[in-house]
C-alpha cells in the first residue's frame, strides 16, 4: 500500500470511528434513564386514572427551583407522583408524598433536597441519590443508608435535616429520633462539659457547629468497618474511650437507638444560611417593649375600651380614660361635653345625633353608631369630662 | 484550455489536479491553503520525521477554541454560580458533558503534545539554521518555547474555573510555589490571585486570562511561528536534503523568491535557498499535504472523542477553603515541580528548609533560560540540522534525554505514587479509604 492509499485508509477509518462516537453520543442524549421512568409513570397513570389524565403527565427534565434556598431540585423528573393524588401505595419512584408534611412545607418553597439531601441537580439515579458516588457529601437520607446503619425506622435519618430549621425547638412533631436525642441532652447534662447552641461548659469540645466538621477531620485509627463521620459518632457515643483514648467523657451506656439519635442530632448542628422565615420561632421585627404592651392592653380593656373598639382613638385622645391617640388629629374628647357646646352651640347628644363638618363625614361613612352605642358614647364622654373636672380641682390647689 | 469552474470549485479546490499547474493554483487561489508552499518535500510530510506534533498542537488548540466558546455560553464565572453551572453542563445541557470532556481532554493532550513537539525539535536539531540565508530558526525555537509556557498557563487558568476542590487546591498549590520566588514572590501571588487568597477576584482574573488574553497570545505567536517556518524554508529536514544534494554535486537551485523584494540578508541578487531539486523529492501540496492534514485532523479528533467518551472530565465537591483534600495536588504537568519541592525540602531537627525556591523557581527557571539560550550555545555543524539523533549532537541529546526522563519520572511519581500526606504508595498498595459523612 503506498502512502497515498494509507492516508485514505486513515481518513476513512477515523471517519467511521467518529461517526460511531457521534452515534453513541446522540443515543446517550436521546435515551436518558429518566425517559424510562416517565414512560412507566404515564402507563401507571393511564391504568389507574385513564388516558385523559395520562396526557397531563409532563415530559422532559422537571425542576423545582427555590431561589430563596439556592436550590434547583430535579428529583421530580423521576419521582413524578409526588404531588399526584392516588399513588399513595404506588411503588417508588412514583409514590405520592405524604400530605401532612407537604401542607406545612410546600414543595415550591422548599424543594426536595433541603429535607431529603441528595444531589438535586443530577438527572440520573446514581448521581442524584449519591449514596455510592464520590464527591457528593450529602447522599439522600433514605432507606439505603438506614439499612447500612441498622436504623429501625427507615425514614428516620432525614430528621437530621428537619433539625436544620427546627434546631431550637424543644420538640418537633414527627422528628422522634431528634426529640429523643434532645431529651437525652437535657437528662444527661451534656452542657456540663460541652457548649451547645452557644451555651454550656468548656471541658469538652464546643458542639455548636460540630456537624460542619469534615469527615477527614475525625480520627478513625481506632475504628473498624466503614469510615464515616456518622459511624464515628455511633461508635463514640457507645464507648467514648474506644475512639479517643484520652477522653474524660463517661460511658453513658447508650444503646443503638440512643447512639443513632444522638449521632443524628450532632450531625444536624451545622451553620445554615436559611432565610429567617424558614426558621420556626425566629422573629425579626418590630417587637413592642413591655411598657408599650401594657399601655396597649390598658387601652383595649380599660374604661376607654369603647373608643378603641369604635376606632375613635385613631384621631382623638380621651386623656382621662387613658386613651392616647397616635395622631391627635382631633381634639381631646375628655373635654367634649363642654367643647361641643362651645364650638357648635349644641349639646353633645344633639351633635352626635346630627353631626356637622368632618364628624358628619366620619360618622356616616366610617364609624357607624347604633342608638345604644351613641348613648354609651355620650355617657362615657360625660364621665370622662367629670374626671377631667375632678383632676383640675385637685391640681389647682397645688399651684 | 480553460475549464469552466463552478462556484463550488471556486470556494474549494480539486483533490485530483490534472496538472501541477492546477495543483499549485489551488494553493495560490484559496485562503485556507495559501500559507502552504506550492510544493513540499516528501520528508516533511512523513510521520517518522515530525510525527506532525506541531500540527496536532494547532488542531487541539482549534478544538479547544470551538468547545471553549460553547462553554463560555453556559459557564458563569462567579464563586456562587461556577460550580452549579458546571453541574448543569454535566446533567442538563444537551451534549454538555461531552463538550466539557472534549475540552478537558484536549487541554491535557495539548500540554503533552506541545511538550513532545519541543522534544522532537530538540532531538532533530531543528532549531538550527541550515545553509540558506534569511533563516532564523533559533528565534522560532524561542517563539515555540513561549507557546509552550502559554499552553501551561492556559491549562492552569482553566483548571480553576470549575471551582471544585480539585481546582481550588491545585491552584492553591501552584500559586504557593510561585510565591517562593525571592523578593517578588508574594507580589506575583497577589497579582495572580487579585488578593491574598483565592476568591472571586482570582476566578475573574483566571477567566479573562483563560478566555481572552492567553488564547489571543497563542494565536498571535502561532501565526508568527508558522510565518517563520515558511521563511526558514520549511522544516529542518529540507536543509538536510539540500545538503545531501550539494554533496552529490548537484547544481545549487536558484531562487529569486525574496530577492526582488530586497528583504533577504543575502548579498547577491540570486539567493541560494534551501530549495531542493523539485522532481525528485517534492510533491504538490494539494492534494498531498492537504490529504495528510485531513488524515491527521481526523485521527486527532477521533482520539479526543474516544477519550472524552471513555475517560470524561472529573468534577469533585464544590470548592471549600476550610477542607484540604489529602493529598492536594497541582495539575499533573506541574507535579514534577511539586515532587521536586518535596524532595528538596529538608528537615534538620526542628528546622525546615523549604524546597519551593529551589524546586519551584530555580530549577524550572534555569531550565527555561537554558532551553531558550541553547540554540545559541549549540555549536554543532550544519550537518546535524534536521537529523534525528545526529552523531555530532549525541552528548547534548543524551543529556536532554536524561532531563526529559527525570521530569517524566517525577511527574509519574507525583501523579500516581503519592497518596495522603504525600506519602509514597506503590501502584499495588491501596490508598487509605477517604472517609465520608455517611
Q: What is the pLDDT of residues B266-309, one digit of tens each?
A: 444 334 444 566 667 888 888 899 999 999 999 999 999 999 99
Q: What share of chain B in percent tops pLDDT 70?
A: 90
pLDDT for position B146: 97
CA pair distance B258, B433, nearest whole angstrom:
67
CA distance B316 to B305: 22
Residues whose CB falls within 8 Å of the CB of residue B426, separated by 6 or more in sequence, listed in order:
B417
Which of A256, A287, A318 finishes a domain? A287
Does A123 share its domain with A185? no
Compare CB distances from A11 to B95, B295, B306 and report the shortest one's residue. Answer: B295
Domain assignment present for residue A234? The answer is: yes
- What is the percentage of chain A residues whose pLDDT exceeds 70? 99
**What average pLDDT does the segment B41-70 reach?**
95
Least confident of A4-8, A245-249, B24-28, B167-171: B24-28
Residues of A within 8 A of B433 (CB-CB) are: 227
Q: Is B246 on the interface with A (CB under 8 A)?
A: no
Domain of residue A280, CATH code: 1.10.760
Cα separation, A339 vs A348, whole angstroms:
9
Q: Is the domain of A153 the same as that of A282?
A: yes
Tell me which of B42, B85, B91, B98 to substitute to probe the interface with A (most A C-beta atoms closer than 10 Å).
B91
Please give the model's pTM, rounded to 2 decimal places. 0.85
Residue A199 — φ and ψ, nearest 5°?
Answer: -135, 150
B255, burial (CB in 10 Å: exposed 0-12, middle 13-18, buried 19+)? middle
pLDDT in tens, B132-185: 878 899 999 999 999 999 999 999 999 999 999 999 998 898 888 888 878 888
Q: Does A145 touch chain B (CB under 8 A)?
A: yes
Burial B388-400 (b: 16+ CB within 10 A, else e): eebebbeebbeeb
B306 close to A (CB below 8 A): yes
Mean local confidence (pLDDT), B61-74: 97
Contacts of A123 in chain B (CB under 8 A): 91-92
Q: Is a pLDDT exceeding 80 seen at residue B208?
A: yes
Contact A21 B298 (CB under 8 A): no
CA–CA gap between residue B154 and residue B108 (Å, rounded): 11
Taking only Cα atoms into account, the Rg of chain B, rounded to an integer number of angstroms, comes to: 25
Please state, in angstroms and rounded to a whole number, the distance separating the CA atoms of residues B18 and B24: 11
* Chain A environment of B316 (Cβ under 8 Å): 134-135
Assess A269–B contact: CB distance below 8 Å, yes or no: no
Whether A137 and B436 lie within 8 Å, measured CB to CB: yes
Q: What residues of A are in contact with residue B284 (Cβ under 8 Å)?
A: none
- Cα separation, B98 vs B100, in Å, equals 5
Residue A137, CB-side half-sphere exposure with 13 Å CA sphere: 22
Neighbours of B196 (CB within 10 A): 9
- 3-state class (DSSP) for residue B424: strand
Identify the weakest region by mean pLDDT among A135-139, B30-34, B97-101, B251-255: B251-255
Predicted confidence at residue B270, as pLDDT, reads 39
Judging contacts by C-beta atoms under 8 Å, the chain B residues touching residue A134 are: 316, 434
B79 chain-A contacts, CB cut-off 8 A? none
* Dist. CA A84–CA A105, nearest whole Å: 16
**Whether residue A105 is found in the same domain as residue A190:** no
Contact status of A141 with chain B (Cβ, < 8 Å): yes
- B-chain residue closest to A9, CA distance: B295
Chain A's closest residue to B292, CA to CA, is A7
**Which residues does residue A72 pair with via DSSP β-bridges, in sequence order?**
A65
Which of A79, A107, A135 marks a domain boundary? Answer: A135
Q: Residues of A numbered 54-73 whose beta carbons fall under 8 angstroms of chain B's beta carbons: which are they?
A: 61, 70, 72
With a CB cutoff of 8 Å and minimum separation 6, the contacts of B238 are B41, B43, B44, B130, B274, B276, B386
Q: Whose grid coordinates read 482549534?
A: B62
Contact with chain A for residue B88, Cβ under 8 A: yes
Whether A4 sits inside 8 A of B305 (CB atoms) is no
Asked if B80 and A17 come within 8 Å (Cβ–Cβ), the reply is no
Judge if A145 and A131 occupy the same domain: no
Residue A103 lies in a domain: yes
Q: Are A49 and A70 in contact (CB under 8 A)?
A: no
Alpha-carbon distance B354 to nearest alpha carbon in chain A (angstroms): 26
Residue of A6, A8, A9, A10 to mutate, interface with B, max B Cβ within 10 Å: A10
Question: Taking Cα atoms as reference points, which of B159, B206, B89 lies closest to residue B319?
Answer: B159
Chain B contact for A29 (CB, 8 A cutoff) = yes
pLDDT in tens, A65-110: 999 999 999 999 999 999 999 999 999 899 999 999 999 999 999 9
B245 or B377, greater pLDDT:
B377
Question: Domain containing A384: what range?
Answer: 302-393
Tell me which of A4, A66, A121 to substitute to probe the interface with B (most B C-beta atoms closer than 10 Å).
A121
Interchain contact B47–A (C-beta under 8 A):
no
A7, A14, A123 member nearest B91 (Cβ): A123
Size of interface A-B (CB pairs under 8 A): 101
Q: Judge whether B299 is closer than 8 Å to chain A, CB to CB.
A: yes
Fold of B27-422: Cytochrome Bc1 Complex; Chain C (1.20.810)
Among B195, B210, B216, CA closest to B162: B210
Q: What pLDDT, on the 0 to 100 scale, is given for residue B3?
A: 58
Same domain, A130 and A162: no
CB B236 within 8 A of CB B124: yes
Q: Is residue A26 part of a domain?
A: no
Domain limits, chain B: 27-422
- Asked which of A135, A150, A174 is the last residue of a domain, the reply is A135
Residues 119-178 of B with CB under 8 A from A: 164-165
B254: enclosing H helix or E strand: strand B254-255
pLDDT of res. A397: 63
Mean pLDDT of chain A: 91
The whole-angstrom distance between B292's CA and the closest CA on chain A is 6
Domain co-membership, A237 together with A252 = yes
Three-state SS string across chain A, please?
CCHHHHHHHHHHHHHHHHHHHHHHHHHHHHCCHHHHHHHHHHHHHHHHHCHHHHCCCCCCCCCEEEHHHCEEECHHHCCCCCCCCCCCCCCCCCCCCCHHHHHHCCHHHHCCHHHHCCCCCCCCHHHHHCCCCCCCCCCCCCHHHHHHCCCCCCCHHHHHHHHHHCCCCCCCCCCHHHHHHHHHHHHCCHHHCCEECCEECCCCCCCCCHHHCCHHHCCCCCCCCCCEHHHHHHHHHHCHHHHCCCCCCCCCCCCHHHHHHHHHHHHHCCCCCCCHHHCCCCCCCCCCCHHHHHHHHHHHHCCCHHHHHCCHHHCCCEHHHCECCCCCCCCCHHHHHHHHHHHHCCCHHHHHHCCCHHHHHHHHHCCCCCHHHHHHHHHHHHHHHHHHHHHHHHHHHHC
Tell me which chain A residues have a C-beta less than 8 angstroms from the C-beta of B291. 4, 7-8, 11
Average pLDDT estimate for B354-368: 85
Residue position matching grid coordinates 439499612 = A147
What tens digit of pLDDT does each residue of B120-131 get? 999 999 999 988
- Residue B277's pLDDT is 62
Contact of A5 with chain B, judged by CB distance below 8 Å, is answered with: no
Contact A243, A236 (CB under 8 A): yes
- Put simply, the answer to whether B316 touches A18 (Cβ < 8 Å) is no
- The number of folded domains in chain A is 3
The C-alpha cell that represents B290 in the structure block: 492537504
Q: Average the pLDDT over A326-349 and give the result.
A: 88
Residue pair A267/B437 in contact (Cβ under 8 Å)? The answer is: yes
Do the chains contact at A11 and B80, CB–CB below 8 Å? no
Min Cα distance B17 → chain A (Å) is: 14
Least CB–CB distance from A215: residue in B98, B295, B437: B437
The reply to whether B392 touches chain A by the CB within 8 Å rule is no
In angstroms, rounded to a whole number, what is the distance separating the alpha carbons of residues B234 and A35?
55
A369 falls within a domain: yes
**Spatial separation of the C-alpha atoms in residues B58 and B219, rounded to whole Å:** 10
Three-state secondary-structure class, residue B351: strand
Are A138 and B299 inside 8 Å of each other by CB?
no
Q: In Å, how far is A238's CA from the nearest CA of chain B?
A: 18
A4 in any annotated domain:
no
Write out pLDDT tens, residues A121-178: 999 999 999 998 888 889 999 999 999 999 999 899 999 999 999 999 999 999 999 9
Question: Contact, B190 vs B196, CB < 8 A?
Answer: yes
| CB contact at 8 A, A89 and A76 | no
Residue A123 located in a structural domain: yes
Q: Is the predicted pLDDT of residue B262 greater than 50, yes or no?
A: no
Give the whole-angstrom CA distance, residue A115 versus residue A156: 12
- Examine the domain organization and report whether A145 and A274 are in the same domain: yes
| Residue appearing with cell numbers 528537615 | B347
Interchain proximity B301–A11, CB inside 8 Å: no
Average pLDDT, chain B: 87
Mean pLDDT of B260-270: 43
Q: Is A376 in the same domain as A247? A: no
Region of residue A163 (left: phi > 0; alpha: psi -120 to 50; beta: else): alpha
pLDDT at A43 over 90: yes
Closest among A213, A196, A212, A194 to A204, alpha carbons compared: A194
- The cell numbers describing A117, all together, are 439531601
Residue of A4, A25, A211 to mutate for B, most B C-beta atoms under 10 A: A25
Of A24, A25, A215, the CB nearest to B436: A215
pLDDT at A15 over 90: yes
- Nearest Cα residue in chain B from A216: B435
Using pLDDT thresholds of 50, 70 and 90, give the confidence band for residue A353: confident
Residue B254: the pLDDT is 54
Residue B286: predicted pLDDT = 85
Distance CA B308, CA A175 (A): 46
User: What is the per-residue pLDDT for A326?
Assistant: 82
Q: What was the pLDDT predicted at B323?
A: 84
Please tell me what DSSP assigns to residue B212: I
Task: Look at residue A199 and tell me if it is in a domain.
Answer: yes
Max intra-chain CA distance, chain B: 90
Residues A257 and A328 in one domain: no
Least reliable range by pLDDT among A83-97, B179-193, B402-416: B179-193
Of all helices (H) and strands (E), which one includes residue B333? none
The mean-pLDDT minimum among A151-165, B12-26, B68-82, B359-373 falls in: B12-26
Q: How far is B53 from chain A (nearest CA, A)?
A: 17
How open is the CA angle B408-B409-B415, to the nearest 5 degrees?
A: 85
Could you tell me what percent of chain B has a pLDDT over 90? 55
Amino acid at each position: 500500500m503506498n502512502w497515498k492509499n494509507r492516508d485514505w485508509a486513515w481518513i476513512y477509518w477515523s471517519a467511521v470511528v467518529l461517526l460511531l462516537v457521534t452515534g453513541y453520543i446522540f443515543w446517550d442524549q436521546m435515551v436518558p434513564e429518566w425517559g424510562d421512568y416517565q414512560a412507566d409513570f404515564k402507563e401507571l397513570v393511564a391504568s389507574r386514572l385513564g388516558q385523559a389524565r395520562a396526557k397531563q403527565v409532563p415530559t422532559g427534565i422537571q425542576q423545582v427551583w427555590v431561589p430563596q434556598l439556592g436550590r434547583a431540585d430535579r428529583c421530580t423528573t423521576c419521582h413524578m407522583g409526588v404531588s399526584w393524588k392516588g399513588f399513595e401505595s404506588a411503588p417508588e419512584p412514583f409514590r405520592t408524598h405524604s400530605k401532612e408534611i407537604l401542607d406545612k412545607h410546600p414543595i415550591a418553597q422548599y424543594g426536595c433536597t433541603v429535607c431529603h439531601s441528595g444531589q438535586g441537580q443530577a438527572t440520573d439515579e446514581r448521581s442524584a441519590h449519591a449514596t455510592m458516588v464520590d464527591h457528593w457529601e450529602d447522599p439522600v437520607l433514605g432507606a439505603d443508608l438506614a439499612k447500612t446503619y441498622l436504623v429501625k425506622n427507615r425514614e428516620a435519618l432525614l430528621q437530621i435535616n428537619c433539625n436544620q430549621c427546627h434546631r431550637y425547638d424543644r420538640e418537633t412533631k414527627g422528628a422522634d429520633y431528634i426529640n429523643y436525642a434532645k431529651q437525652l441532652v437535657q437528662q444527661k447534662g451534656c452542657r456540663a462539659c460541652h457548649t451547645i447552641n452557644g451555651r454550656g461548659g468548656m471541658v469538652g469540645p464546643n458542639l455548636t457547629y460540630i456537624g460542619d466538621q469534615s469527615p477527614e477531620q475525625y480520627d478513625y485509627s481506632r475504628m473498624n468497618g466503614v469510615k464515616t463521620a456518622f459511624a464515628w459518632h455511633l461508635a463514640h457515643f457507645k464507648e467514648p474511650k474506644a475512639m479517643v483514648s484520652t477522653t474524660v467523657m463517661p460511658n453513658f451506656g447508650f444503646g443503638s437507638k440512643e447512639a443513632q439519635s444522638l449521632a443524628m442530632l450532632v450531625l444536624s448542628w451545622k451553620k445554615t444560611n436559611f432565610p429567617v422565615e424558614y426558621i420556626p420561632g425566629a422573629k425579626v421585627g418590630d417587637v413592642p417593649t413591655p411598657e408599650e404592651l401594657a399601655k396597649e392592653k390598658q387601652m383595649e380593656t380599660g374604661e376607654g375600651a369603647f373608643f378603641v373598639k369604635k376606632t375613635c382613638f385613631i384621631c382623638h385622645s380621651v386623656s382621662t380614660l387613658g386613651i392616647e391617640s397616635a395622631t391627635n388629629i382631633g381634639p381631646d374628647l375628655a373635654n367634649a361635653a363642654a367643647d361641643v357646646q362651645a364650638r357648635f352651640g349644641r349639646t353633645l347628644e344633639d351633635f352626635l345625633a346630627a353631626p356637622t363638618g368632618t364628624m358628619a363625614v366620619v360618622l356616616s361613612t366610617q364609624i357607624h353608631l347604633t342608638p345604644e352605642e351613641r348613648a354609651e358614647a355620650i355617657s362615657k364622654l360625660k364621665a370622662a369630662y367629670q374626671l377631667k373636672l375632678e383632676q383640675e380641682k385637685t391640681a389647682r390647689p397645688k399651684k | 484550455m480553460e475549464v469552466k469552474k463552478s462556484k463550488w470549485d471556486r470556494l474549494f479546490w480539486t483533490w485530483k489536479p490534472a496538472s501541477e499547474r492546477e495543483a499549485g493554483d489551488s494553493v495560490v487561489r484559496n485562503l485556507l491553503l495559501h500559507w502552504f508552499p506550492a510544493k513540499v518535500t516528501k520528508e516533511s510530510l512523513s510521520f517518522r520525521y515530525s510525527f506532525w506534533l506541531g500540527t496536532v498542537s494547532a488542531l487541539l488548540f482549534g478544538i479547544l477554541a470551538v468547545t471553549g466558546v460553547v462553554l463560555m455560553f453556559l459557564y458563569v464565572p462567579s464563586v456562587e454560580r461556577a460550580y452549579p453551572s458546571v453541574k448543569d453542563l454535566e446533567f442538563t445541557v444537551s451534549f454538555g458533558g461531552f463538550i466539557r470532556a472534549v475540552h478537558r481532554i484536549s487541554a491535557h493532550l495539548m500540554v503533552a503534545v506541545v511538550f513532545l513537539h519541543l522534544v522532537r525539535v530538540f532531538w532533530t536539531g531543528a532549531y538550527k539554521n541550515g545553509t540558506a540565508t534569511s533563516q532564523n530558526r533559533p528565534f522560532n525555537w524561542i517563539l515555540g518555547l513561549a507557546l509552550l509556557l502559554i499552553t501551561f498557563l492556559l491549562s492552569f487558568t482553566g483548571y480553576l474555573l470549575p471551582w471544585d476542590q480539585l481546582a481550588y487546591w491545585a491552584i492553591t498549590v501552584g500559586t504557593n510555589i510561585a510565591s517562593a520566588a525571592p523578593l517578588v514572590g508574594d507580589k506575583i501571588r497577589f497579582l495572580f490571585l487579585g488578593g491574598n487568597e483565592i476568591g472571586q477576584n482570582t476566578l475573574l482574573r483566571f477567566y479573562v486570562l483563560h478566555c481572552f488574553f492567553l488564547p489571543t497570545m497563542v494565536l498571535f505567536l502561532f501565526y508568527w511561528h508558522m510565518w517563520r517556518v515558511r521563511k526558514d524554508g520549511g522544516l529542518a529536514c529540507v536543509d538536510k536534503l539540500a545538503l545531501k544534494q550539494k554533496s552529490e554535486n548537484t547544481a545549487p537551485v536558484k531562487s529569486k523568491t525574496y530577492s526582488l523584494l530586497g528583504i533577504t540578508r543575502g548579498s547577491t541578487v540570486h539567493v541560494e535557498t534551501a530549495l531542493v531539486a523539485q522532481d525528485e523529492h517534492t510533491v504538490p501540496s494539494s492534494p498531498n499535504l492537504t490529504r495528510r492534514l485531513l488524515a491527521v485532523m481526523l485521527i486527532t479528533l477521533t482520539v479526543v472523542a474516544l477519550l472524552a467518551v471513555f475517560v470524561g472530565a472529573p468534577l469533585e465537591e464544590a470548592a471549600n477553603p476550610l477542607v484540604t483534600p489529602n493529598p492536594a495536588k497541582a495539575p499533573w504537568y506541574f507535579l514534577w515541580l511539586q515532587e521536586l519541592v518535596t524532595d528538596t525540602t529538608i528537615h534538620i531537627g526542628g528546622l525546615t528548609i523549604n524546597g519551593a525556591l529551589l524546586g519551584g523557581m530555580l530549577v524550572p527557571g534555569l531550565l527555561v533560560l537554558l532551553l531558550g539560550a541553547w540554540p545559541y550555545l549549540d555549536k554543532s555543524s550544519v550537518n546535524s540540522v534536521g537529523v534525528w539523533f545526529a552523531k555530532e549532537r549525541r552528548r547534548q541529546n543524551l543529556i536532554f534525554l536524561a532531563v526529559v526522563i527525570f521530569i517524566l519520572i517525577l511527574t509519574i511519581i507525583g501523579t500516581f505514587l503519592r497518596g495522603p500526606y504525600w506519602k509514597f504508595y506503590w501502584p499495588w498498595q491501596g490508598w487509605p479509604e477517604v472517609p465520608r459523612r455517611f
